[in-house]
């Protein structure tokens, strides 16, 4: 066994004599720094028992770096699966999974009500996109380790290795790398630019309001017909002299005031459209039309007042009883007569006159309605409503109903009074009575349906230029459909008041109606904008793809590598890290050298001619003093 001569500390027995400001030489004793002896051990073969026992005896180690390779070495184990970067590839796949999850959330949430999601899709997207970016950054960091060591393994320069590290450490270094551009710079730019996917993916989901239609059952408490004798009472010998009952007056006043038709407890949460059966008036009408000359009629008598527009009503009592079936033969009816003139010409005061006679019978009508909350609106009853059945005449037990008799109750009597008050009309032409023919419009309806030219005040600069209707040249439109619609609206209101009144002769009210209606709801739903989704997905996927090449060559590495300064210093053969094998992983370096004291600072040495050399090093803390301001270090 040979032994290397032990050496003392470098400063032992030496003095440094710097010059003072006054030119005097100062002798400063320096404390020797002891160097740890280095022992080399070589096995020697021997046939003697003593030599054999010495050969098998564990050697004694004195220096920190005095470790045999057989005890400190780590095998170099390259291979595809052996060095497979599981963490890096897993985080890479995690990025792809987050991207797929973001796409799924946007596709699934598109058109879904906001109430069906406890958290909005944007919250999930925020988590996923943050996870994507964090995983991408982790993937990049793992790839940088492999790229740096693979570059060193294949042969490189200090500048090239520095560029690999600096491009990974900062975006600006990668962006302005110029001719030193490499895969690490590409990955650094990609993982930095990738953050713009956050505002894009956030904008890909928004909330809008839409209308949805679905069937729903709605409960409406309304009578299917107007009860016998419910609306009017004859007040005298003539059936034309009647008064309204209390519920009829309430319905009449509601109509005149245009009060909302309110029905609570319908179970319609938003807007429902459908049909409901209620009492109403079924009309059977006859119409005749022909030319007329009002001036000729006036000439026959010398002076004449004739109505070019008129509406009047009358009532017909129930017919005599039909004893075989115990009921009246014919139910009571209302009669409405309408006459109006159009296509008028001034010559001979001529025009076309149309006359319509309608018989209105109490019936069950299927009304088109719209319910918004608790408010009912009646649709176009004339064109969309249908007659379900006609109400029969009262039985013999109610022989006093709907007959011409003082104090007799009438089923349609109140509607007759309402019609006369609201719609009776009589416009007149006065021909030959005064110097010129005149016209009277004494009521609402004759003015309402006057077919007048559109209002134009552009050329009217005085009241004498305002247009007004004149006799013989005025025209009207047909009020029949309007009157029938208004009367049925009143009948609908009466049916609501009659919901708790006995149905016919059963002694009990009819059950509430449960009808199926189409419910139109305004709901908030999520809307996915796939333009932003596509843009975000493309940016993220491209960034992930650009990071991937940094993993190339992992199969040529023989251990798990990091960019930890300790591991890199070990690779550069730093004296402070003498000890474990050169292929030791970072975990082993930490265990074997974790207790060593290190310090960065000034270390002095000597060159030829006893010149002092000062350097800054990270080395044994015993040999280091603090750096001095202004000192030049080499």
Q: pLDDT (tens digit, 9 = 90+) per residue, 151-161?
A: 888 888 888 88
Give the model's pLDDT for residue 321: 57
* Measured distance between the N- and C-terminal CA atoms of the chain, rounded to whole angstroms: 40
Q: Report whether 391 contacts 364 (CB < 8 A).
A: yes
Residue 223 sits in the same domain as residue 340? yes
The residue among 305, 335, 292 whose CA lies nearest residue 427 is 305
Give the model's pLDDT for residue 19: 37
DSSP 127: H
Give the model's pLDDT for residue 410: 93
Give the model's pLDDT for residue 223: 96
Residue 140 sits in the same domain as residue 163? yes
Of 28-37, 138-147, 377-386, where does the model show the most confidence? 377-386
Rg (CA), the chain: 54
CA dist., res. 349 & res. 513, Å (int): 55
Q: Domain end: 472, 504, 524, which one? A: 524
Give the CA distances from residue 304 to residues 228, 293, 390, in Å, rounded to whole numbers and listed in that order. Answer: 44, 12, 43
Give the CA distances from residue 540 to residues 135, 214, 335, 419, 536, in Å, rounded to whole numbers and listed in that order. Answer: 11, 40, 79, 75, 6
CA dist., res. 126 & res. 483, Å (int): 62
Q: 609 lies in a domain?
A: no
Residue 520 sits in the same domain as residue 535? no
Within 20-85, residue ranges assigned H as helices are 49-56, 69-72
Give the model's pLDDT for residue 46: 38
Residue 397 predicted with pLDDT over 90: no
What is the extent of the structural domain holding 148?
86-204+529-556
SS3 content of the chain, % helix, strand, coil (to 5): 35, 25, 35
Which uninterrupted H or E stretch holds 207? strand 205-220
pTM for the model stands at 0.63
pLDDT band at 596 (very low <50, low <70, confident <90, very high): confident
Q: 57 lies in a domain?
A: yes
Give the model's pLDDT for residue 395: 76
Q: What is the mean pLDDT of residues 384-405?
A: 82
CA dist., res. 94 & res. 454, Å (int): 72
Give the model's pLDDT for residue 296: 67
Residue 43 predicted with pLDDT over 60: no
Q: 107 lies in a domain?
A: yes
Residue 360 predicted with pLDDT over 60: yes
612 against 127, higher pLDDT: 127
Give the CA distances from residue 345 to residues 349, 355, 471, in Å, rounded to whole numbers and listed in that order. Answer: 6, 19, 10
Q: Domain end: 509, 524, 539, which one? A: 524
Half-sphere exposure of 29 (CA within 13 A, CB side): 3
CA dist., res. 104 & res. 537, Å (int): 12
Q: What is the mean pLDDT of residues 564-568?
A: 85
DSSP for 345-370, written as a single string: ETGGGEEEEEEEEEEEEEEEEEEEEE
Residue 313 sits in the same domain as residue 367? yes
441 against 172, higher pLDDT: 441
Number of domains in the chain: 3
CA dist., res. 355 & res. 288, Å (int): 5
Residue 450 sits in the same domain as residue 480? yes
Residue 251 sits in the same domain as residue 383? yes
Q: What is the mean pLDDT of residues 503-517?
A: 89
Q: 390 lies in a domain?
A: yes
Residue 379 predicted with pLDDT over 90: yes
Q: What is the mean pLDDT of residues 405-411?
A: 89
Q: Domain end: 12, 30, 63, which one? A: 63
pLDDT over 70 percentage in the chain: 83
pLDDT band at 72 (very low <50, low <70, confident <90, very high): low
- Render the burial of 423-432: b for 16+ CB within 10 Å, e for the rest: bebbbbbbbb
Give the CA distances from residue 2 to residues 15, 43, 59, 294, in Å, rounded to whole numbers and listed in that order. Answer: 33, 10, 14, 151
Least confidently predicted of 114-123, 391-400, 403-412, 512-521: 391-400
Q: 594 lies in a domain?
A: no
Q: Where are the beta strands (DSSP E) in 317-442?
A: 321-322, 327-328, 333-345, 350-372, 375-378, 386-390, 409-410, 425-431, 438-440
Residue 263 sits in the same domain as residue 302? yes
Q: 346 lies in a domain?
A: yes
Give the CA distances from residue 266 to residues 230, 508, 516, in Å, rounded to whole numbers and listed in that order. Answer: 25, 22, 11
Least confidently predicted of 67-81, 515-529, 540-554: 67-81
Q: Report whether 386 contacts 363 (CB < 8 A).
A: no
Residue 398 sits in the same domain as residue 265? yes
Residue 275 predicted with pLDDT over 60: yes
Residue 538 sits in the same domain as residue 520? no
The residue among 564, 592, 576 whose CA lies nearest residue 624 is 576
563 against 464, higher pLDDT: 563
Residues 6+ apart with CB under 8 A from 577: 566, 569, 570, 589, 593
Q: Report whether 431 contacts 437 (CB < 8 A).
A: yes
CA dist., res. 493 & res. 314, Å (int): 22
103 against 237, higher pLDDT: 103
Q: 80 lies in a domain?
A: no
32 against 561, higher pLDDT: 561
Residue 54 sits in the same domain as residue 109? no
Least confidently predicted of 291-295, 309-313, 426-430: 291-295
pLDDT band at 481 (very low <50, low <70, confident <90, very high): very high
Residue 61 predicted with pLDDT over 60: no
Residue 520 sits in the same domain as residue 533? no
Give the model's pLDDT for residue 338: 98
CA dist., res. 147 & res. 156, Å (int): 12
pLDDT band at 576 (very low <50, low <70, confident <90, very high): confident
Residue 232 sits in the same domain as residue 155? no
Q: What is the mean pLDDT of residues 166-179?
A: 77
Give the model's pLDDT for residue 44: 35
pLDDT over 90 percentage in the chain: 37
3-class SS of residue 572: coil
Q: 420 lies in a domain?
A: yes
DSSP for 486-504, written as a single string: HHHHHHHHHHHHGGGSPPT
Within 385-479, residue ranges assigned H as helices are 413-423, 444-448
Q: What is the pLDDT of residues 320-348, one digit of tens each?
A: 555 555 555 688 999 999 999 999 887 77
pLDDT band at 105 (very low <50, low <70, confident <90, very high): very high
Question: Which sign, positive or negative, has the C-alpha torsion 287, 293, 294, 299?
Answer: negative
Q: What is the mean pLDDT of residues 529-546?
A: 89
pLDDT averaged over every residue in the chain: 82
């Amino acid at each position: 066994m040979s032994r290397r001569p032990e050496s003392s500390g470098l400063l032992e027995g030496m003095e440094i004599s710097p010059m003072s400001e006054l030119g005097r030489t100062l002798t400063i004793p320096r404390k020797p720094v002891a160097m740890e002896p280095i022992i080399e051990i070589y096995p020697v073969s021997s046939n003697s028992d003593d030599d054999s026992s010495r050969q098998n005896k564990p050697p004694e180690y004195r220096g920190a770096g005095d470790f045999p390779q057989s005890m400190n070495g780590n095998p170099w184990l390259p291979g595809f699966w052996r060095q497979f970067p599981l963490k890096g590839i897993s985080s890479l796949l995690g990025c792809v999974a987050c991207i797929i999850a973001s796409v799924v959330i946007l596709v699934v949430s598109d058109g879904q009500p906001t109430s069906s999601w406890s958290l909005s899709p944007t919250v999930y997207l925020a988590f996923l996109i943050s996870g994507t970016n964090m995983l991408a950054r982790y993937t990049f960091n793992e790839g940088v380790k492999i790229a740096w060591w693979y570059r060193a393994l294949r042969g490189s320069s200090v500048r090239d290795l520095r560029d690999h590290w600096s491009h990974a450490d900062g975006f600006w270094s990668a962006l302005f790398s110029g001719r030193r551009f490499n895969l690490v710079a590409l990955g650094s730019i990609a993982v930095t630019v990738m953050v713009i996917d956050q505002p894009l993916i956030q904008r890909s989901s928004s909330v809008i309001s839409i209308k949805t239609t679905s069937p729903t059952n709605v409960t409406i408490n309304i009578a299917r017909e107007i009860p016998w004798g419910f609306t009017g009472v004859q007040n005298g010998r003539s059936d034309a002299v009647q008064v309204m009952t209390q519920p009829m007056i309430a319905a009449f006043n509601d109509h005149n005031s245009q009060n909302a038709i309110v029905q609570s407890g319908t179970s319609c949460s938003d807007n429902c459209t459908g049909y409901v059966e209620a009492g109403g008036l079924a009309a059977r009408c006859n119409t005749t039309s022909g030319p007329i000359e009002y001036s000729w009629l006036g000439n026959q008598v010398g002076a004449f007042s004739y109505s070019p527009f008129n509406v009047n009503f009358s009532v017909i009592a129930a017919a005599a009883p039909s004893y075989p079936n115990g009921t009246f033969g014919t139910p009571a009816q209302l009669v409405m007569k309408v006459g109006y003139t159009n296509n008028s010409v001034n010559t001979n005061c001529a025009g076309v006159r149309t006359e319509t006679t309608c018989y209105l019978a109490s019936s069950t009508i299927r009304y088109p309605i719209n319910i918004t909350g608790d408010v009912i609106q009646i649709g176009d009853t004339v064109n969309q409503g249908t007659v379900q059945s006609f109400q029969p005449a009262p039985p013999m037990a109610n022989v006093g109903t709907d007959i011409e008799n003082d104090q007799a109750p009438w089923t349609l009597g109140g509607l007759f009074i309402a019609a006369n008050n609201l719609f009776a009309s009589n416009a007149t032409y006065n021909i030959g009575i005064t110097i010129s023919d005149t016209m009277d419009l004494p009521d609402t309806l004759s003015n309402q349906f006057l077919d007048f030219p559109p209002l134009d005040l552009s050329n009217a600069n005085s009241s004498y230029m305002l247009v007004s209707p004149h006799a013989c040249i005025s025209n009207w439109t047909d009020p029949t459909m309007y009157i029938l619609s208004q009367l049925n609206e009143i009948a609908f209101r009466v049916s609501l008041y009659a919901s708790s009144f006995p149905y016919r002769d059963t002694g009990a009210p009819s059950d509430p109606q449960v009808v199926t209606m189409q419910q139109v709801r305004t709901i908030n739903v999520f809307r996915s904008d796939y333009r932003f989704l596509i843009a975000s997905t493309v940016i993220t996927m491209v960034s992930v793809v650009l990071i991937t090449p940094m993993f190339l060559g992992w199969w040529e590495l023989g251990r798990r590598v990091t960019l930890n300064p300790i591991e890199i210093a070990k690779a550069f053969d730093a004296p402070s890290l003498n000890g474990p094998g050169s292929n030791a992983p970072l975990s082993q370096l930490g265990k074997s050298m974790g207790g060593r004291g290190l310090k960065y600072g000034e270390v002095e040495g000597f060159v030829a001619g006893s010149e002092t050399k000062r350097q800054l090093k990270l080395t044994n803390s015993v040999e280091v003093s603090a750096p001095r301001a202004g000192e030049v270090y080499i």
